Amino acid sequence: MEVRLYSVVTPNGLIAGKGDDLSFITETEWQGMLKEAYDAGNCIMGRRAYEALLKKGKFPFNCLNIVLTKSPKKFKNKWPDKVIFTNKSPRAILNMLSSKGFQKALLIGGGHVNASFAKQKLIDEIVLDLEPRLITSGIRLFEGKEFGAKLKLIDARRVSPEEARIIYKVEK
Ligand SMILES: NC(=O)c1ccc[n+]([C@@H]2O[C@H](COP(=O)([O-])OP(=O)(O)OC[C@H]3O[C@@H](n4cnc5c(N)ncnc54)[C@H](OP(=O)(O)O)[C@@H]3O)[C@@H](O)[C@H]2O)c1
């Protein structure tokens, strides 16, 4: 299973501002994120990312949405054909996607879930869309766990008048 982490970040590595502020993400970028999820057929996110997307009116994406939470029973699932709330481990989630026929998984965050996958060396590729905004406090791309990884630069280019995309392979 190939796992791609896709995230929209500020140049200083934040994925949300204070109070889960996502106003730095342009509409073009939201469309890009929706397309990534649609193309992958699935997306994996944390419960806090789910709540932020729901508040923004962006949830669910048009694919199988996997939401990690330690308390899946707490959530009333209004989209049973599209959304799974689960307390499975990152590895077990990838096994579940494999058993459903997926060869690729799209991890979209937030920072705590990203770090859980990274710590277990489950991420193969990192795609970062850089927004031209600096904010100094908020949620980082990886939160709550210590780890390190060597990356190989695959591509760096302008993808819109405002945004740059950097693609890395994670060396294992
Ligand atoms: N810029 C972007 O591309 C982008 C993308 C996605 C999200 N975001 C932003 O990121 C922020 C949320 O990030 P976050 O780091 O605070 O939270 P998060 O990673 O989205 O969610 C963390 C929650 O996931 C659940 N969880 C279950 N198993 C886990 C595991 N193995 N590892 C980690 N979490 C697990 C827990 O929920 P329970 O407490 O329910 O057990 C935990 O509190 C939001 O502001 C969102 O808007 C930005």
| Contact in structure between 24 and 131 (CB atoms under 8 Å) | yes
Q: Give the pLDDT confidence of 58-100 residue by residue, as tens digits.
A: 999 999 999 999 999 999 999 999 999 999 999 999 999 999 9
Indicate the domain borders of the chain.
Answer: 2-103+112-160
**Which mutation among 30, 35, 47, 143 tests ligand 1's pocket best, with the greatest number of atoms within 8 A of CB?**
47
What is the pLDDT at residue 14?
A: 98
Say which CATH topology domain 2-103+112-160 has. Answer: Dihydrofolate Reductase, subunit A (3.40.430)
Q: Give the pLDDT confidence of 120-136 residue by residue, as tens digits.
A: 999 999 999 999 999 99
Q: Which atom of ligand 1 is least distant from the CA of 90?
A: 31
What is the pLDDT at residue 148?
A: 96
What is the pLDDT at residue 42?
A: 98
| Contact in structure between 123 and 145 (CB atoms under 8 Å) | no
pTM above 0.95, yes or no: yes
